[in-house]
Amino acid sequence: MPKKTENSLYLYGDGDDVEILEGVEAMFDVKISDDEAPSLYTLGDLYDLLVSKLNASDSRRSICLTAASFYRLRRALTELTGVKDISPRTQLDSIFPNGKIGQAAKQIEHHTKMRLPIPELGKLATTLVMMLFFGTPILAIAIGQVIGHWGWSVLLLWALVVPLLKFAAYRAPEYCSDVGSLAKTMAGLNYSLLSAEFGVSHQDDVWNALVEVLKNQALTSGPINQETTFFSSVQ
């Protein structure tokens, strides 16, 4: 009988597990074979496989990618805002009041050469945004042909709103409340870039990057640890 577990990503096996493995392969630039995939019951199994494939170091003398990410992020924030004495515990709201970090998102990425943790929209939300983006001007032109200048007013409004959406697009995830947590998340998302730059990675860096893949792709708000299963039941 399958054993039920509450510590799970609650995947359904309808392709979502394949998408996650593809995301992991892309993050770490590795290939998980069809023979290896069936033996992966927990995240610990996947982590052990990645550590083996990447030959990740367990030596504390190796460079910590989270620390490297923090120093790069701190330098960028100081250059952009003039705020000094930034520590890992510095709250992002103290640097960017009222959530204005979104307005500096592109500049932060440019200065750090790293991606920020921007949550991916679901398929339905993405479809609605695309319909709004492309449908509004078409509707405006159609209305304009019927009622004249009012239709073109809608088109003008769309042209003004789009730049505002660009600045409002980025919101730091709730778990990134301070500079340290943001740096750690960025280190995970940019694992390939940083590990290639420094030529080494610690096993902790591999786990951190794996967690970030799962946060972006798995629909779970529960804890993520090495005992977490992919499915809610295992043999």
Is-contact 179 96, C-beta < 8 A?
A: no
pTM: 0.71
| Range picked from 56-60, 127-131, 180-184 for highest mean pLDDT | 180-184
Lowest pLDDT segment from 49-53, 192-196, 228-232: 228-232
> For position 141, what pLDDT does the model report?
62
E-assigned strand segments in the chain: 3-4, 233-234
> For position 59, what pLDDT does the model report?
78
Closest CA to 71 of 166, 187, 150, 153: 187
